[in-house]
Structure formats: C-alpha cells, structure tokens
Amino acid sequence: MNDKALFITLEGIDGSGKSTQVKNIAQWLENFTGRRTLCTFEPGGWDGGRTLREFILGSKDYNALSELLLFLADRSEHAAKVIIPALNSGNNIICERYNDSTLAYQSGGHKLNIEHVKSIIRACNFPEPDIKILLDITPELALERINSRKNINDKFESEGLALIKHAANFYRESCENFIVINCDKLSEHEVFNQIISRLEAEIKQCRSR
C-alpha cells in the first residue's frame, strides 16, 4: 500500500454509531496521513443520489432482488462519481456502508443466496477497500437507540429486531478481515480511541508490506 490514498469502509448494523464516528475518524486520518480525507455514505452519497436513497429506504413494495439491484445501481454511480475520482486525486475516502452492508442485509437479513450476491458484486468490479472497520453492538441495544430517535423513516430500521439480528450475525461470522470494535459498554469517546489505535496500527502494517 505504501503511501497511497486510503479507502476505508465503516460498517455495522443500524444504531451502531457509524454516523457519530465517521467525521472524527476522517479528521484524525487527515492529520495522520497528511492527505485530504472525504466522508461519504451509501445509499445516495453522490450528486443526484438523494432521490434514489429516499426510494430505497422509503419503499416497502419491491422484492429482495430488486432491492439488491437498486443498492448496486446506487453504488455504481457512487463509485464512478465520488470514490474513484477522490482516490485518483490522492484523497482518502471513508465510506459509511459498502459491499459488506449489502451482504449483511440482503443476504444475512433478506436471505438472498450469498454466493449469488457475491458473484454479482464481483461482476460490478467496484473498488476494494484497503481497511474495513466494524462497529459491533448487540441488536437489542441497537434497536433501543433506533427507537429513541424522533422519526424512523428507514425501511430497514422499521423491520425491527429480527432483521437487525440476522445482519449482526452475518457481520460477526464474516469479519475476519475487519477491525472489530465491540461498542456495547464503551462511551462514544472510548469507541473513537479504540478505532484510531487499531487504525494507526493497521495503516503502519499495510505500509510496511
């Protein structure tokens, strides 16, 4: 990897604290690497993506395969318009949700055949992350956080504990290549400190290869 721009993904079930951590991580990464660091997200993290995001997260009328294809269409535009241009310009990217989220929710949660989903994702030839971070949290605590919000408009959040449990189990069973942070008993600040400690070590290890 040496000193090239980094592509980092931040994963975890709804309510795990990804949105809380992503900007703090980006600021730290920018200082640590000396490179501009951009935060983005899926679905809808590209110019024009808001309409597609609202449709994906708001509609309950399409089947699981259509849902998968909508997410991948969004990712295709996101990669082409945001991720690839940023990396080519020498900027780091931190993306909240990416391919592993699709596997966790569409395969783990909505039971699409995992090998079929993986093969479709591979065929799309999306950029591969250099480092993946998983914020691990018990589904019950995640749902408690979700329910404390004033408005729940997200199709996936509204499906409740069963979907969150399936997605959480999938993440835990497939996280060998992740930096995993167990968040249940940690404060926001403690989670951040663990992330940057592990991230610093991972970056140094990658650059020594």
Predicted pLDDT at 91: 97
Burial call 183-201: b when 16+ CB within 10 Å, e when fewer: beebeeeebbebbbebbee
45-65: average pLDDT: 85
Give residue 209's pLDDT.
Answer: 63
Q: What would the mean pLDDT of 72-81 be, rounded to a whole number?
A: 97
Where are the alpha helices (H) located in the chain, listed in sequence order? 18-33, 50-58, 64-78, 84-88, 99-102, 114-124, 139-147, 161-173, 188-207
Q: How many CA atoms lie within 13 A of 172 on its CB side?
A: 12
Q: How far apart are CA 178 and CA 162, in angstroms?
A: 24
How far apart are the C-alpha atoms of 111 and 163, rounded to whole Å?
10
Residue 79 has pLDDT above 90, yes or no: yes
pLDDT number for residue 151: 61
Report the pLDDT value the prediction gives residue 192, as an integer from 0 to 100. 96
Asked if pLDDT for residue 72 goes beyond 70, the answer is yes
| Model pLDDT, residue 97 | 96
What domains sit in the chain, N to C, each tagged with a CATH number? 7-207 (3.40.50.300)
* Average confidence score pLDDT of the chain: 90
Residue 186, pLDDT above cutoff 60:
yes
- Count how many Cα atoms sit within 13 Å of the Cα of residue 83 in the half-sphere of its side chain: 27
Confidence of residue 158 (pLDDT cuts 50, 70, 90): low
For residues 36 and 141, give the distance between their C-alpha atoms in angstroms, rounded to a whole number: 34
Given pLDDT bands bounded at 50, 70 and 90, which one contains residue 175? confident
Q: Give the mean model confidence (pLDDT) for residues 104-129.
A: 93
